[in-house]
Structure formats: structure tokens, C-alpha cells
A and B are shown apart, each in its own frame.
Chain A
Amino acid sequence: MILFKDVTKRFPGGYEAIRGLDMSVDKGEMVFVTGHSGAGKSTLLRLIACIERPTSGQVIINGQNTSRVGRSRIPAYRRQIGMVFQDHKLLYDRPVFDNVALPLIIAGFGHREAGRRVRAALDQVGLLKKEKQRPETLSTGEQQRVGIARAIVSRPRLLIADEPTGNLDPDLSFEVMRIFRRFNEVGVTVLIASHDLSLIDRLGCRQIPLENGRLQVPKEDTAVDDYIADADTISGPEKWL
């Protein structure tokens, strides 16, 4: 589903946020990108969402090389990925329902079908009763769940989340992670950037530890090494189609 081949991202100032990164995530996996602040987690996710383009190397998502996605095709490309942000990025001038419906409206769904799907998504994050409320009347945790509902309402196969629990207390964080887990259980590939190590340990998912834009050299865990070896043997993007 996600394949990074020797990816480097150098910003205009010359700073390299990602350096020669090789990594991959299989279809149906739930994986955490971990690392200190500034390690390059957000940049990695932004490369996946085509918000940034790699300076060199290849980012291949679901068989599509992001370098070859033209400007005019970016919207269609982004519509196949569900995105959750630390600051929710909700639209505060409209009720919860409209926020969640937005991806469906963009995709051209009719009102009835959109309404059905929005309610299903709100039900899945436990906010069915709050569809008429404005986002600012909700707690941070609820707002984050609205963001998740919006990300999954169009049933993407890939869900990426940048520090989705960054502003939440441990209980709420665990609740949000359980929601992600449930989507993962029905086949959605989930990639979450987080530095909340104790929480990740509780969930027992694979980690991609970053350090200064590179894969962190593992101490005792060899799983990551195996993974890199795995990725190296891949001949082309066909496997990911």
C-alpha cells in the first residue's frame, strides 16, 4: 500500500527532513511512525498526501508514484486517502454533519446517499447525536472524532493520521486509537504518526521509528531490519497494485 524508495525531502533552506528513507506498509496493516519532534514524521505523511513532493526517490501509494501525479490530478488522488490532523482542521462555520459530508459532496454524491453515509460514519465514532452541533461546542476529543468521521466517510482504503492524540488526555487517546483499530480490523490500512510511546506499546502495532529523517537503528527489535530487507527485494510497484 505504501512504499518509500530511497526518499529524500530537502526543504528550500537546504534542510533535509527525510534522508534516503526506505520503508513500506502492507495492505491492511496498522503502523505507527514514531520519533522525536522534528524527526520528520509529519513530512513523511505529507509526502504520502502529496502535500510535499520528494526531492529524490519514489513514494508509491497503492501503485501510484506520487511524483507522476500531476497538479490537476492531486484532488482525485487525495480523495482516496483519509486524513486526520492533530488540529482537526474542521470548518467551524458549519455543523458537524456538513463537515463530515464534505468529502462526499466533493465526490459528487447525491444528498440521500451522502446523508446515509454521514450518519453511518458519525455512528462509528459515537457522535450520531451531535450532527447538528457546531464543532466549537464540542470537546477536543469529540472534535477529533468528527475529523476521523470525515476521514473515513468516503471509505478510503488508506487512513493517515498526524498526531491524532496530541492534544488528548490518555483515556481519550486510547479511545481514539481504538476507533482507528476498528477501521483497521475491517481492512483499512492505517498509518499514524505519534510520539506517545506508552500508548503505542499498549496497542502492540508495528513501528517505523524515525530519527533525523532516517530509520532509527533498532536496539534489540529486529523486525524493522527484516522489513527493510523485504522492501529491497521488491522489483517494482506492481506488487502494490
Chain B
Amino acid sequence: MAVTRNAEATKAAKKTGPVTAWLTRHASTAVGSLGRLVRQPAASLMTILVIAITLALPASLHLVIKNAEVISGGWEGALDFSLYLKPGTSLKQAQALANIIGKRADIESVRLITADDALREFKAASGFGDALDHLTSNPLPHTLLVRPSSRSTDGSISLLREELGNLPETDVVQIDTEWVQRFHAILDILQRAGVMAAALLGIAVIVIIGNTIRLDIQNRREEIEVTKLIGASNAFIRRPFLYSGLWYGLGGGLLALALVSYGLSALEVPVGRLAGLYGNSYQLISLSLKESASIPAIGMFLGLAGSWTAATRHMRRIEPR
């Protein structure tokens, strides 16, 4: 009997082609699941919103790190160093030295900050202006700000530093770029933490969707029992729940994308203002097309994973009584 029936079904399928029949069946299940979500919009939106927030968090962290990398990448070239001259050095000597050094091929420019300039700047910036007025002599040295030529390598720069440090007028050579390296180390840690956070949040999405599907299964327990009585396989009964999970994931992913884009556009103006303060212009980097597509894709994958685990686990327990 079973054989006859299957043969009949196959015959019926053959008329339209088995692939078409299979596609139609899946399409109608997918649409049915979507319809079910749409019919209870409040609950569905709530779930989708939670998923969206959970997905948007690692996505925004990723964006922050990506932007920070680009910005700090611009600092890599900041290999300037300062030459503090010995206290006894006169202004004339300092100017002469700046001239000589400035002519070297491996140096792009030299700027002299005289002791007076330095004190004025310090007075203005430190707020100790009045107290400093009582000083009888200027304790600050003349300083040369040296910018190596852009063709320099790490090696040539350290040689240059050594050479200039050995000049009789030089007191101390100070490199200003160490903090860039520290910043990179921090970024690296952040990135690793971000990956871990993303993994945890991914699990959270699976749990959220799994739990939603579990409740859905419980609410439809009777229906599942009846369908099993009529001869539906676990796979058949599971299918609409898998599509629900897929839809939740897709909805959450798309909403996450919208949240991130909105956040980005909201930050555009203040970031522009900040860059302006540094005399720069900076255009925030947004998600690439691939990254944008991957958020809903990841959402769908997690949705499928969550609904699969929940459906497989709870489906088996429901047997007709």
C-alpha cells in the first residue's frame, strides 16, 4: 500500500517536475511561517528587536575598531622626534643648527621652537601663567622638531636619531610615537575581545530564537500531535519552525543593519567636528557591501541553528496520546 501511495505521489509530482514540486512545497511552507509571524506582530517584532540589538553590538564594535585602525594608520607616518638642546645653547646656535640639519637629504623639515615660544605656550596651556611670571630665568630649552623625509625606513630613522643625539648641542632625543604602538596594542586586545563578544552574542541569538521556537512548539502541541497521527514525519513538522527561525534571523539581521547605519549617520557630524579640531577631515568608514550582506546572512544562519536545535529536541517528545 505504501508503495502504491508513494508511486501516486511521485506520479503527481512528475506532472510538474519533482524539483518544481519540492520548491513549491518549501515556498508555501516559508510563506506560511512568515504569515504566522505577521499575524502576531507585537511578539514577532519584540523577538526581532532583541536579535537585532544582539547582532548590532558586535557589528558596531567591529566598525569602531575598523575606523580606529584607519585613523591610527595615518599616525604611523608620524615619526617626528624632538631634539632638546642643552640649556646653555644660544638662540643663534640653535638657528644655525636648524639650518644645517634642515639641509640634509634624509630630513624633510626642521622647526625651531625657541625657549621663549615654549614658555609662552606652556603658560597659556598650563594655567600657571601668573606663577610663572615670577621666574627670573626661562628653565625651558630650545627645541628642534625634526620630521624625517618620507622615504626614510625604520632603520634609517634610528640611525638619524642616534647621529643627531650625538651632536654636542643635543641634550635629549625624544620620540613621540610610542603611544601609537600602545594604541595598536590596545586595538589588538579590543579586536580579540570583540571576537569573543561576537561569539557569545551569537550563542545568545541562538538561545533567543531557540526559546521562541520552543514556546511556539508548546503552543502548537495539539496541532503537532494531530499531524503526527495523520502520518507526518518529524522533518515535515519541523520544517515550518525552521522557516520561522530563518525569518526571525533575517528580520533581526536587517534591523541590525538599519540600527548600525543609523548610528553611523548620527555620528557623522560630531566626528567631522572632532576631525576639524585637528585640522583634518575624516569620513567615517561604514560597512562594506560584503559586511552589510553578512549581517542578515549570519542572522539567518543563527536563526536556523536555534530553531533546528529547539525543534529537533522538542519535536521528539511530542507523541500522540
Interface residues of A (CB under 8 A from B): 49, 51, 62, 72, 75-80, 83, 85, 89-91, 93, 102-103, 105-114, 150, 154-157
Known contacts A109-B9, A113-B12, A113-B15; A77/B25 CB under 8 A = no
Known contacts A110-B15, A110-B21, A113-B15; A79/B5 CB under 8 A = yes
Determine if B1 and A103 form an interchain contact, defined as CB atoms under 8 angstroms apart: no
A residues within 8 A CB of B226?
89-91
CB distance from B271 to the nearest CB of A (A): 51
Determine if B229 and A83 form an interchain contact, defined as CB atoms under 8 angstroms apart: yes
Known contacts A108-B21, A157-B1; A102/B9 CB under 8 A = no
Q: Which residue of B lies closest to A102 (CB)?
A: B230
A residues within 8 A CB of B280?
none
Determine if A49 and B229 form an interchain contact, defined as CB atoms under 8 angstroms apart: yes
Q: Which residue of A lies closest to B226 (CB)?
A: A89
Does B285 touch A at the CB level, under 8 Å? no
Determine if A78 and B230 form an interchain contact, defined as CB atoms under 8 angstroms apart: yes
Interface residues of B (CB under 8 A from A): 1-2, 5-6, 8-9, 12-13, 15-16, 21, 24-25, 223, 226-234, 236, 319-321
Known contacts A49-B229, A78-B230, A83-B229; A109/B1 CB under 8 A = no
B residues within 8 A CB of A51?
229, 319-321
Q: Which residue of B lies closest to A89 (CB)?
A: B226
Contact of A75 among B16, B24, B232 (CB under 8 A): B232
Contact of B12 among A76, A110, A156 (CB under 8 A): A110
Q: Give complex CA distance A72, B226 in Å.
A: 17
Q: Give complex CA distance A75, B235 in Å.
A: 10
Determine if A111 and B24 form an interchain contact, defined as CB atoms under 8 angstroms apart: yes
Known contacts A79-B2, A80-B2, A154-B5; A108/B25 CB under 8 A = yes
Determine if A80 and B5 form an interchain contact, defined as CB atoms under 8 angstroms apart: yes
Of residues B1, B223, B232, B321, which shows the largest number of chain A Cβ atoms within 10 Å of its Cβ? B1
A residues within 8 A CB of B231?
75-79, 103, 106-107
CB distance from A132 to the nearest CB of B (A): 17
A residues within 8 A CB of B12?
108-110, 113-114
Determine if A110 and B13 form an interchain contact, defined as CB atoms under 8 angstroms apart: yes
Q: Which residue of B lies closest to A150 (CB)?
A: B230
Q: A51-B321, A77-B2, A155-B5 are in contact. List 20 more A-B contacts (CB 8 A).
A: A49-B229, A51-B229, A51-B319, A75-B231, A75-B232, A76-B233, A79-B230, A83-B229, A102-B227, A102-B230, A103-B231, A106-B230, A106-B232, A106-B233, A108-B9, A108-B25, A110-B13, A112-B15, A112-B16, A113-B12
